[in-house]
């Protein structure tokens, strides 16, 4: 029996990665000036990520609300509060609060 399922070709995984990279660039460009576009792109990034197991980069991820799947633009669609160790990001559209704990960088206690 011959199996042909193992042929090497640009995999869907690779395509998904490229799409996410591409969408992240659009997202970052459109975010400050066009919240409608960035909302749509944000949703696509999450959808591709979910389908193919691709995670958006940290920078992009924290600019997307996981609940309403829309872009978070500080001062416009999100509010940011910083305490000594934690950043709180509140989505002004659904009210979700995201916490990011600081101090994980080069923290070698
Ligand atoms: Zn939200």
CA 37 – ligand 1 centroid, Å: 16
The dihedral of CA 72, 76, 77, 80: what is its sign?
positive
CA 22 – ligand 1 centroid, Å: 23
Torsions phi, psi of 82, nearest 5?
Answer: -120, 125
pLDDT digits (tens, 9 = 90+) for 19-54: 999 999 999 999 999 999 999 999 999 999 999 988
CA 78 – ligand 1 centroid, Å: 8
pLDDT of 108: 47
Residues around ion ligand 1, judged by CB within 5 A, are 65, 67-68, 91, 93-94, 96
CA 65 – ligand 1 centroid, Å: 5
pLDDT at 8 exceeding the cut of 50: yes
pLDDT band of 71, cuts 50, 70, 90: very high
Q: Hunting for tokens 């940011």 — which residue is that? A: 80
CB atoms < 10 A from the CB of 62, how many?
16
């Amino acid at each position: 029996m011959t199996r042909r399922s193992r042929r090497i070709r640009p995999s869907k995984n690779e395509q998904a990665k490229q799409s996410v990279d591409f969408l992240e660039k659009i997202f970052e460009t459109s975010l400050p000036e066009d919240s409608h576009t960035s909302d749509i792109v944000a949703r696509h990034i999450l959808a591709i990520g979910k389908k193919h197991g691709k995670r958006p980069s940290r920078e992009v991820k924290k600019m997307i609300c996981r609940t309403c799947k829309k872009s978070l633009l500080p001062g416009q669609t999100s509010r940011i509060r910083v305490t000594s160790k934690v950043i709180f990001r509140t989505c002004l559209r659904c009210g979700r609060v995201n916490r990011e704990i600081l101090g994980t960088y080069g923290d070698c206690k």
